[in-house]
Amino acid sequence: MDQPIGVIDSGVGGLTVARELMRQLPKEQLIYLGDTIRCPYGPRPEAEVVQFTLEMVEFLQKKQIKLLVIACNTATAFTIDLLRERLSIPIIGVIQPGARAAIKVTKTKTIAVIGTDGTIGSKAYPKALKQISSDLTIYDLACPQFVPIVESGHFSPEAAKHVVEQSLKPITNLRGLDTLILGCTHYPLLAEPIKQVMGANVEIISSGEEAAREVSALLSYQALAYRGNRLAKHFFYTTGSPELFEQIANRWMDYPVQHVENIVIDQSLVEKNKSF
């Protein structure tokens, strides 16, 4: 099928999912929308996250997407059930793929999850994990300082290492812990310091990478994959500054992110949230 895959995120973090989608599914076209101006979603109340996400989805639906990826853990936690009821296309969040991958990987059945306040508060990961297997020890920890570092677009390795070290203290040296889920799509951009702090015995699961793997599977099972031969072109939209988006994106992506378009989803909301 020739239609694009839609990807939404609260900002640039979902680009880690987009990067994996491009790598794992080079023939599939993406339309990415980052709600940069209202980022971060993590500390916002549930009702607001739901409203913002629905607005983003409305924009992508006009682009005739064949599948939606919610590349934001907070938005997944609060909206995936609702969106699955409302939309007829398949919807893939980042929480269940991360949970399934962690269960595949862990040998000690001891798993930790880090994420935003919203994601951790929702208990979406422990719920998803326990639904598959009752026999797990699960730790979770909110790391509210990580997203602002990444979205700022400039952080020194030393500063990042320091923040990561301080934030992860409660889960370093936990007995038997062998698997850590990065329950926020911004966190793979801090993967290096996180790996250093957690040590070589803890396997790091990127929920975004795993979501891309499941998109690949679902496209196939639902006969939605593009069957021809092409190297796909992608389109990027942001509710914030296209220049900053391009700057940050091109620092991580192999694909040249150009011609990013600014879109205004809801002027009143944008005004209201400028000071956020």
Please tell me whether 108 is known to bind a ligand.
no
Q: Which of 5, 68, 71, 72 is catalytic?
A: 72
Q: Which of 221, 216, 237 is nearest to 37 (CA)?
A: 237
Report if residue 265 touches a copy of itself, rule: CB under 8 A: no
Least distance from a copy of itself to the Cβ atom of residue 27, Å: 7
Please tell me whether 74 is known to bind a ligand.
yes
Dihedral sign for Cα atoms in the order 70, 74, 80, 83: negative
What x/- string results for residues 48 through 87 when contact with a copy of itself is judged by CB under 8 A? ----------------------------------------
Least distance from a copy of itself to the Cβ atom of residue 184, Å: 20
Please tell me whether 186 is known to bind a ligand.
yes
Active-site residue flag, 72: yes
Of 101, 147, 150, 205, the one binding a copy of itself (CB under 8 A) is 101
Report if residue 218 touches a copy of itself, rule: CB under 8 A: yes
Q: Which two tokens stand for residue 180?
A: 């850590």
Please tell me whether 10 is known to bind a ligand.
yes
Report if residue 174 touches a copy of itself, rule: CB under 8 A: no
Q: Which two tokens stand for residue 82?
A: 């609702």
Nearest-angstrom CA–CA distance, 8 and 140: 24
Please tell me whether 259 is known to bind a ligand.
no
Task: Please state the separation of Cα 253 from the chain's center in Å.
Answer: 15
Least distance from a copy of itself to the Cβ atom of residue 210, Å: 9
Of 47, 221, 259, 264, the one binding a copy of itself (CB under 8 A) is 221
Q: Which of 172, 122, 119, 111 is nearest to 147 (CA)?
A: 119
Report if residue 100 touches a copy of itself, rule: CB under 8 A: yes
Q: In sequence order, what are the residues at sequence separation of 6 or more whose Cβ sits closer than 8 angstroms to the Cβ of residue 263? A: 33, 59, 237, 238, 239
Q: Contact, 60 vs 31, CB < 8 A?
A: yes
Report if residue 214 touches a copy of itself, rule: CB under 8 A: yes
Active-site residue flag, 143: no
Per CB under 8 A, contacts with a copy of itself among 16-35 are: 24-27
CA angle, corner 9, sides to 93 and 210, nearest 5? 40
Nearer Cβ to a copy of itself, position 133 or 166? 133
Q: Contact, 194 vs 164, CB < 8 A?
A: yes
Question: 242 vs 8, 100, 169, 261, CA distance in Å?
Answer: 16, 35, 36, 6
Nearer Cβ to a copy of itself, position 161 or 213? 213
Q: In sequence order, what are the residues at sequence separation of 6 or more whose Cβ sits closer than 8 angstroms to the Cβ of residue 121? A: 142
Q: Which residues bind a copy of itself (CB under 8 A)?
A: 24-27, 90, 96-97, 100-101, 103-104, 131-135, 209, 212-214, 216-218, 220-221, 225, 227, 229, 231
Pick out the residues of the known binding site: 9-10, 41-42, 73-74, 185-186
Active-site residue list: 72, 184
